[in-house]
Structure formats: C-alpha cells, structure tokens
Chains A and B, each alone.
Chain A
Amino acid sequence: MADAVVADIQRASTHDGPGFRTTVFFKGCPLSCAWCHNPECISFEPQILEYPEKCIGCGKCADGCFAGAKVLCGKRMTPAEIAAEVARDKAYYGKDGGVTFSGGEPLAQRDALSECIDECKKLGIRCAVETSLIYYDEEIFKKLDLVMADLKIWDSATHKKYTGVPNERIIENFKKVNSLGVPVIARTPVIPGVEQGIPQISAFLKTLENVKCYELLPYHPLGKSKRQALNMAEDEFSVPSAEFMEELKQYAYIR
C-alpha cells in the first residue's frame, strides 16, 4: 500500500467541484506557477510554515510549537486513512458531491492516488481530481467521475516562462482525456498582466466534446501569505478587476 504525503484535508469545500466536497491536498507539483495559491504544495517534502506574529517567545521551538508560529505542512497518510477522513462527510455528498484530490499535482503520487480512489469508491464516494494534466494516466482517469484540469496559457513559451514547463504535453493530454468520455471541467486562472490567450484556449476546448464546462477563475491572493510563511519571494500579481472578468466572460461556457 502506497502512502500519500498530504498537505491538508479540507472538509465542506464548496470551491473544488460540485456539491459538498472534501478536498485532499497532495503535496508536490512538477510545475511552479508564479501565481500558485497553494505554494506549500509545490515541494514534495514536509515543510514548516512560519507565522512569527503568533510566536509567544517561549524559546522551546525545538520541543514543538503549539502557538501556531511554526506549522508543519505535510503528513504521511495511508489511502485507508484518507478514505476514512473523506467518509466522515458522506451524509452531505448527495448525488453531486464527493472527494476532490487536489494539490499540488495529485497524479505526481499516482500509486497512492490510485489506491485512494479505490478506497473511496469502495465506500460509494464520487471521486474527482484537480490536475495540471502534465501527466496522463489512463487507469486513473477511467476510475474518476470528474476531471478538473487547468489550461493556464495558450502560448507554450509563455507557459514555460510562468509555470516552468511548456504546454504541448498538457494540450495533448486534454485531447486524450477527452477521448475517455470522463466529464472534464477546464479552467484558467485569470492573471492580469500575463498574455494567456484565453480566446484561443476557449476555442480549443470547444472542440473537445467531453469538456462540459470552461471556467475562468480570478487570481486569488491566498498564496501571498503562505509564500511569506514559506520564506518564498512575494509574487507580483493582483486580483483582476470586475470589468476585466466581465470582458472575459464571453469565453467561459457550460454545455
């Protein structure tokens, strides 16, 4: 049985797919998006997030911090443990809700992910992933009820500049997932100041029949405080204006 390194498990999430969802954040991601709002999920190793404003000055950091000034992020869990945690909210999932494996890049821990899906399926829980589609794993995708995948930037060179990887493989994987028949929700985080090519992305996605929905998600500054806590350089992005989002609305769709 493969353990997963998990950054956090959030219950009653309403932002990571339909219905009430439990979101399991897998730690580690091969991309390093400049605007990442879960920067604690980039490294595969456990890390300490530091919040000095909470320090009580007891001088006993080595014995463990309980004041919330140093918070360990990253814990090994077995798929059965993860499924048990997910099952706690089974009463609220209904026909739409369930678990979302997110991250980080959940497929980067494919064996653990695969077993987590099996364990949850055994309990009758619907499973989704949030993925960059940098990996294509037919066995896993076929088991899922929903794939939520990002296409962040249309131009490959720009994609590489901001995420660390080119996008040809991602675009190819979108086509492959589409052929499996699993419903896909495609998404683009809207980052003001970055030439993302949203019209082109939208046009491409429309050619894929199983992409049921294309969502535009405004950049979320949630990552800023976490970058600070991880001693990472601050990102330079800002939240898009309502007018900007309104302009782009024409490219989003549901079918």
Chain B
Amino acid sequence: MLTYADRLRAMRNTKVRHTLEKRKQNGYTDLDDFGTVPISEGYSVEPWYNSTNGSFYGYDGMCENFCRVIDAHEPYIDPMEMLCGRWRDMLVNYRGDLHYMPDWLKNNEKIMEFMKSATNQWSKRWDEQRFPYDDLKPNQKKYNIATGIDGDAHFACDYRIGFELGFGGLLEKIEKYRKINPDKKAFYDAEERTVKAIIRFVERHCEKLREMIPAEERPEIKENLQTMLKTCENITYGAPKTFREVCQWTAFFNCASRIYTRDGAGFQLDGLLYPYYENDVKNGILDDETAKFLVANLLLIDPHYYQISGVDENDRDMTNKLSYLILDAADSINIACNLTVRMHENCDKEFQRKAVYYLIKNKNGWPRFCNDKALAEGYMKNGVDKKTSRERIAVGCNWMCVPGKEFPMNDTVKINIAKVLDEALKDLKNCDEKSAEKLFELYESHLKIAIQTVADGVNLHIDHAWEVTPELVMNLMMNNTIERGEDISQCAELYTVGVDGAGLAVVADSFGAIETRIENEKLVSWDNLFENLENDYADERVRTIMASAPKYCSGGSASDKWAKRLTESWVTAVKAQKMPKGRQLVPGWFSWSRTIEYGSNVGATPNGRRAAQPISHGANPNPHFRNDGAPTAQSNGIASVQCGYGNTAPLQIEFDPMVKADEHGIDMVLKLIEGHFEQGGTLININVLDKQKLLEANENPDTHPDLVVRVTGFTAYFASLSPRFRQLVVDRFLTGF
C-alpha cells in the first residue's frame, strides 16, 4: 500500500521530470516556475483577434480567448495526488509579443504566419492604436523605465468571496448585479462566460476521473480517485465545504487565473483555511497527516505567494495549528514554496524557530520573512487605517497587497536610477562647476522628470486597462467589481501604486567614490574621471581607485551616507508626485531580476563599474562590499534605506551552508532576521545554498534538476535559468557570507 511519503516522492519526481521537459519546450526562462506542466502532444489553440495589430483586447477579446485557451486545456490528474488541475498555457502568449512567446509556440507555423501578416508597428500587449503614448516613450527610454503600461494583475484577490459563493454562487451574483446595472452588459457577459469556462474546466476533470476510476486497481488509489471525483462534483457549482474541497477549489481558481495572464496572488493561507481544517477535524473527517498532504499538494500545483502567521488588527497572534502544518507540508514536498512568515513581537516564537529550522535544513530558499511593524505602520503613512494596513499581506515577489481592495501595480513599475545618474553625469560634464553636490542636484532634476513620466504611464494604464486587459478572472473575487459592473482597475478602494528604484548600490557607491577619491583624497581629477567614463576605464588604475572606495553597506562610509540621502530624495520625490483621482505613488527599492538587462543600458559609472555590466541587485550592496562579507553589515545597510511607506527594500542574503539546522544555527539566523527587523527592515529573502551542489549544477544543471534558488523575491529551478543568469546567482553566492 502506498503511503503519503511514497506518493509525495512520486509527485516530486514528476515535478523534476516536468522541469526538464519544460526546459526542452521553452528554453531557458529566467523566471518563476509558476507551476506549469509541459505542453501535451496535439495541444493547439486558435486565437481570435479583434485588433488589426495582431492582438486582442477588452471584454470580448480577453473573454473569447480565455475560453479558447482554457477549453483547450486537458484535465490534469495524477493518481498519486489528492488534488487535480494544472495549467500549461496562457492567453497573453497569443498576443503576438515575441518577447513573451514561449519557444514551443514560436514553432507553431500557423500562429507565426498570422503574426507576420499583422500590423507590427504597435505593442501587442497594450492597444497602442487606441491608447498611444508616443509622447512618453523618449523619457521612458532615457530613464530605462519599466512603465507598468500593459502590466497585468499584480494585485490580490479576496478568496473569502469565492470560498463563500463557489462558482455557482459567482454566477448568481453576476446575474443579480446584471439586473441592477443593465448598461454594463459587455462586462457581465464576459464575466459570466469566464465563470462558465472555469466550470467546464472542472467538469472535464470529473469526466476524466469517471473514465479513470474503473481501470484503477490499487484500492487506496481507487478510493482516492473516487473522493477526488466527489470533491470536484461538489465544487463544480457549490461552495467548498471541507478542507479538501477548499484546497481543490483554490487549485482550480488558481489554474484559471494563471491561464488568463499567468498572474494572481496567494492569501493568508493559515488564516483562511483554518475554519475548514478545524471543522473537518471536529467532524472526524480529517487528520493532520491528510491535511499536510493536501497543503503540500496545493503548494505543488501552484507556487503562489502565501503569507502565514502574523497578527490581527488588535495585534493578537494569528499563528495556529495549521500554520505549523503548512510548514510541515512544505517540508514534505520541499519544492519552490513561496511561503512568507509575517513576524511581529506578539507572534509565536516557537513557530518562527521552526520556520528558520526548515529554511536551514532544506536549503531551498523558503520560507521568507517579512516585518509587520515596518510594513503596517509604513502603509498607514499613506493615510490608510490600521485594520486595512494589517490586511496588507505578503502575496508577491517583493510586494504586499490588501486582498480584494487594492490595485497597486506592484513590481511592474521601475526606474533604473543608474540610468538617471548616467544622464546627470552627461550634464555635469558640460558644467563649469563640478562637485558631488552639483551632480546630485542634476540627478534630482532628472529623477523628477523620470517620476513624472512614470506617473503619466501609470495613469494611462489605470484609465484604460479595462479596455485592454480587464481582469476577468480576478475580478470575481474583488470588492466592488461585480457589484458595479466594473473592472478592478476602475473601482479599487486603494490605488497605492508601487514604484521601485533599481540600482541603488551603483549610484550610492558612485557618489561615495566621487566624494572620497575625487573630492577628499584628490586621487583622481574630474577630467580624468570623465575621460575614463567615456573610454570605459581604459586606465585600470583609475578604475581600481574608484572601485576600491568604501562601499554602501560597509558601515559608516561615504557611500552609506549617500545611500541614505538617495533614499530620502527618492521617497520625497515619489511622494511629492501629484496623482489624480485619489491615486498615489508608493516608493520602494527593487530591481526584480532585471539587473543584467538594466546594466546593459548604462555606461561606465564612477564606482568603477564598466559599461553594460549588471547593476546592483534590489537594495543589496555591490559585490565585495566588505572583505568579510558580513551579513550583519548588509542587513544594517539595507535597514537604513527603507522607504517607509509600506513597500519593501528587501534584504536578499546568501547564507553559509555550514550553518547547521541545530539550536545554534537557528539562533544565528533568527538573530539576523530580528536584528534587521528591529532596525526597520521589511522583507528578507534568504538562500542557504550548498556550494558544492550549486557549482555542480552551474556546470551541468541536469545533475541537480531539483535545486531551487531564490533569485529575487521569486524562486526558480536552477536548471531552468540561462547560463548567464546562473552565473549571476553563483557570483552573488560566492561573494556572500
């Protein structure tokens, strides 16, 4: 008889096989795994285009193509699992933006032929024919801005809405409000068809299960399939009632939201699932081992970002028995689990120790840790009440969101401040007065223009997203949407739009090196610097002089002071930006994984960085920031550059694999986390990696297809990363702790 452990092993092996197969189909992705399974043989979608530029938009375009893609998805049932459903493909793949197209789709001649025949002068994700922004493009390019225009989702659903209603209840809700808002027919038609397509997806799983059950000979697996069928039948229309049903419902909904635009976000996993757990245990239909297996299964199906632990609006600890089981479940499956532990002084300390224990023991980059105090109090500074601020949970790579209420566009909007510095340096060259202060003045004036450009782009996106990419799936579990017949982009309660700066360490170290080496020590002249910036440091001595100036995170250096000053300036400028209709911008520091791409657009910088080299990662220091690479020094530095309005400047840290999963090791890691949070840090992503394994996998990724690394906020299978990206992770690790 197969035990849960046997089945989990089999599920993990299948996951490894899928990872390798997907790499064959998609090439290197440099992305989160997203829980997809490989494209099956004969899979094909005929997209419907409603724009002459070879794309589709709006309620009808998105809805029709969602139905086509989800209908093309075969049911996914692994008899080892207790839950079913997976996703393979998403409709935005068919929008003809070659940059986003997976390799397997590029091999589809029919699709490619159509793409070539379509007008190619506009972006395919954003409908530029109707909503052009040519006026913004020069500055967007100049400051290397990730605009957020055409970005999708990056907000969080309130799953309680779906859990309460089920798919049938959502249909009824649509019908009810359709009558109240007869002028919103296009919206309600699209939402109704969307829910019905999800229901068909569930029904196909039921049909497939009915076929599979008679042929299954292993009694325990047969029984599993029968229960799976019953579960799917119960939730095809009905609201989930049991723990298994609520997990299965989540799995189906998440598959649908991924198929839509790959996005979606998690929720407070221990909080929302606890009533179902408690009830089933009370009724004697659920034991802890089964609950653990179900959670592990859910985490396998979709690596959404889930938060666990934390405190409620009255500062009461929310850690419960399920919080512990979730950690145990993640341990039992030990894949790319994006669990974030919310820390607060009132939270269960034993739970935090256990979380750290699993981080060290498994060396798979989970869980992550976020700081309630800095996040909630910071968010309140945007004029939001305490209760709502507490609801703002860790559901994304670097970001937080109030489920159901907020439209933050988080992680889609960025300014490469190294590029802003680049522009300021060009101006300074022509100035008579040359000083760090003058450079800073020029930098700030360019930054102001960059932020205005960002604001214009954000407003364009929010004003028209409903006509381009309405969020038909996620709208189902947002406040106001169905009630008003509006897309969430039109009716969110909170528009606290995240804007991240990227390249902090490059800029801080550049100012620091100028102050130290040019102004104080007079080792290099301004002319000499400019000559070397232009010829990409032909003089290696000048480069080493500039590069060896004490860096940001070394502790008490000029660059440390500049990092703080740059943060103050960044926060002031972002918060000062005027926004219409109650919208506001919220500052953070984060580069996502764009360090290579961003670096390629920036010339040589005064910190000794050569042209086109990667920029620094997130809020992290540059490599070799101290000889001892002290994580405490890094932690202090990053704590000192927090923007303070509830968005993050994450501490991304690589930890020595010599740290053991014993009391001493746990103490050490916990002290680092607590020390960072005491000083105002917001989010910590820790990699505890085995050096040997990492180097072997870098040489040949197939030797360790199960190796997971936390790249930025997201985790990825190392085997799916491109050689250049793998090297970046390895370099970061080797210069780490």
| B678→A12 contact, CB < 8 A | no
A93: chain B residues within 8 A (beta carbon): 671
Q: How far is the CA of A88 from the CA of B554 in the complex (A)?
A: 11
Given contacts A58-B540, A66-B548, A85-B555, contact A11 B628 (CB under 8 A): yes
| B667→A96 contact, CB < 8 A | yes
- Which residues of A (50-93) have their CB < 8 Å from a CB of B? 56, 58, 60, 64, 66-68, 85, 88-89, 91-93
Q: A8, A56, A66, A92: which contacts B632 (Cβ < 8 A)? A: A92
The residue in chain B whose Cβ has the minimal distance to the Cβ of A96 is B667
Q: How far is the CA of A93 from the CA of B656 in the complex (A)?
A: 18
- B672-692 CB mask vs A (1 if < 8 Å, else 0) is 101110110000000000000
In the complex, B28 has a CB within 8 A of chain A:
no
Q: B523, B548, B659, B671: which contacts A19 (Cβ < 8 A)? A: B671
| A11→B541 contact, CB < 8 A | no
In the complex, A154 has a CB within 8 A of chain B:
no
| A92→B540 contact, CB < 8 A | no
Q: How far is the CA of A15 from the CA of B571 in the complex (A)?
A: 40
Q: How far is the CA of A10 from the CA of B555 in the complex (A)?
A: 12
B684 to chain A, nearest CB (A): 13
Given contacts A92-B671, A94-B667, contact A56 B544 (CB under 8 A): yes
Q: B540, B544, B630: which contacts A12 (Cβ < 8 A)? A: B630
In the complex, A179 has a CB within 8 A of chain B:
no
Q: How far is the CA of A37 from the CA of B556 in the complex (A)?
A: 29
Given contacts A85-B555, A88-B556, contact A11 B630 (CB under 8 A): yes
A8: chain B residues within 8 A (beta carbon): 627
Q: A11, A18, A67: which contacts B633 (Cβ < 8 A)? A: A11
Given contacts A56-B544, A66-B545, A85-B555, contact A91 B667 (CB under 8 A): no
In the complex, B258 has a CB within 8 A of chain A:
no
| B667→A12 contact, CB < 8 A | no
A37 to chain B, nearest CB (A): 15
| B671→A20 contact, CB < 8 A | yes
Q: How far is the CA of A91 from the CA of B674 in the complex (A)?
A: 8
Interface residues on B, range: 20 to 34
- Which residues of B (512-563) have their CB < 8 Å from a CB of A? 523, 540-541, 544-545, 547-548, 555-556
A11: chain B residues within 8 A (beta carbon): 555, 626, 628, 630, 632-633
Q: How far is the CA of A92 from the CA of B635 in the complex (A)?
A: 10
Q: B544, B628, B667: which contacts A66 (Cβ < 8 A)? A: B544
A39: chain B residues within 8 A (beta carbon): none
Q: How far is the CA of A14 from the CA of B667 in the complex (A)?
A: 11
A85: chain B residues within 8 A (beta carbon): 555-556
A110 to chain B, nearest CB (A): 26
Q: How far is the CA of A91 from the CA of B635 in the complex (A)?
A: 10
Q: How far is the CA of A10 from the CA of B667 in the complex (A)?
A: 20
In the complex, B479 has a CB within 8 A of chain A:
no
Given A10-B628, A19-B671, A92-B671, list of 17 further CB < 8 A pairs? A12-B631, A12-B632, A14-B656, A18-B664, A20-B672, A60-B541, A66-B544, A67-B544, A88-B555, A88-B636, A89-B630, A89-B633, A91-B632, A91-B678, A92-B675, A94-B671, A96-B667
B interface list, Cβ under 8 A from A: 523, 540-541, 544-545, 547-548, 555-556, 626-628, 630-633, 635-636, 656, 659, 664, 667-668, 671-672, 674-676, 678-679, 737
**13 intermolecular pairs with C-beta atoms under 8 Å apart:** A10-B630, A11-B626, A12-B633, A14-B656, A14-B659, A18-B664, A19-B667, A56-B541, A67-B544, A89-B633, A91-B678, A92-B635, A97-B671
A interface list, Cβ under 8 A from B: 8, 10-14, 18-20, 56, 58, 60, 64, 66-68, 85, 88-89, 91-94, 96-97
Give the top 6 A-B pairs by smallest Cβ distance, nearest first: A91-B675, A11-B630, A12-B630, A92-B675, A58-B541, A66-B544
